[in-house]
Amino acid sequence: MLQPNAVDPHAMLHSLADMLRRTLDQRIGIVIDATPDCPPVLADPGQLESALLNIAINARDAMPEGGTLHFRAEACGALPREVLNELGEAGEHGSFVAISVADSGTGMTEEVKERAFEPFFTTKEAGRGTGLGLSTVYGFVKQSKGAIAIATQPGAGTTVTLYLPQLFDAAPPAAPDDDDGEQALPAGLRVMLVEDDAEVRKVVHTFLATLGCEVVAAENAEQALVQMESDTGAFDVLLSDIALGPGMRGTRLAAEAQQRFPRLAILLMSGFSSELLDADREAPPSWELLRKPYSRAELARALARVLAARP
What one-character-per-residue DSSP string does the chain give?
----EEE-HHHHHHHHHHHHHHHS-TTEEEEEEE-TTPPPEEE-HHHHHHHHHHHHHHHHHT-TT-EEEEEEEEE-SSPPHHHHHHHTHHHHH--EEEEEEEE-S----HHHHHHTTSTT---SPTTS--S-HHHHHHHHHHHTT-EEEEEE-TTS-EEEEEEEEBP--SSPPBPP--HHHHHHSPTT-EEEEE-S-HHHHHHHHHHHHHTT-EEEEESSHHHHHHHHHH-SSPPSEEEEES--SSS--HHHHHHHHHHH-TT-EEEEEES-HHHHHHHHHH--TT-EEEESS--HHHHHHHHHHHHHH--
Which residues fall within 8 angstroms of residue 70, CB to CB, at 6 or more apart? 30, 31, 33, 100, 101, 102, 103
Dihedral sign (CA 152, 53, 293, 8):
negative
> What pLDDT score was predicted for residue 285?
85
CATH 3.30.565.10 boundaries in the chain: 5-165
- Strands across the sheet with 237-241, in order? 214-218, 190-194, 237-241, 265-270, 288-291
- Please state whether the predicted TM-score (pTM) of the whole model is above 0.85: no
> What pLDDT score was predicted for residue 199?
79
Taking the C-alpha atoms of residue 40 and residue 32, their distance in angstroms, rounded to an integer, is 16
pLDDT per residue as tens, the chain (311 positions): 778 889 999 999 988 888 888 778 889 999 999 888 899 999 998 889 888 988 888 888 889 899 999 999 999 877 888 888 777 766 666 789 999 999 999 998 888 888 888 776 666 655 555 445 688 888 888 999 988 999 998 999 999 999 999 887 544 444 445 454 555 688 889 999 999 888 788 888 888 988 889 999 999 999 999 999 988 778 999 999 998 888 889 999 999 999 999 999 999 998 777 777 777 777 888 898 888 878 888 899 999 999 988 76
> What pLDDT score was predicted for residue 268?
92
Contact 52, 101 (CB under 8 A): yes
Q: CATH number for 5-165: choose from 3.60.10.10, 3.40.640.10, 3.30.565.10, 3.30.43.10.
A: 3.30.565.10
Candidates 73, 288, 29, 36; CA nearest to 161 is 73
Residues facing residue 238 across a β-bridge: 192, 266
Taking the C-alpha atoms of residue 229 and residue 262, their distance in angstroms, rounded to an integer, is 13
179-309 maps to CATH 3.40.50.2300 = yes
Residues facing residue 31 across a β-bridge: 70
Find the radius of gyration of the CA atoms of the chain: 20
Angle between helices 198-210 and 296-309 (to 10 degrees): 70
CATH 3.40.50.2300 boundaries in the chain: 179-309
> What pLDDT score was predicted for residue 178?
47
> What pLDDT score was predicted for residue 131?
47
Could you count the other beta carbons within 10 Å of the beta carbon of residue 105? 24
> What pLDDT score was predicted for residue 88?
73
Which residues fall within 8 angstroms of residue 229, CB to CB, at 6 or more apart? 260
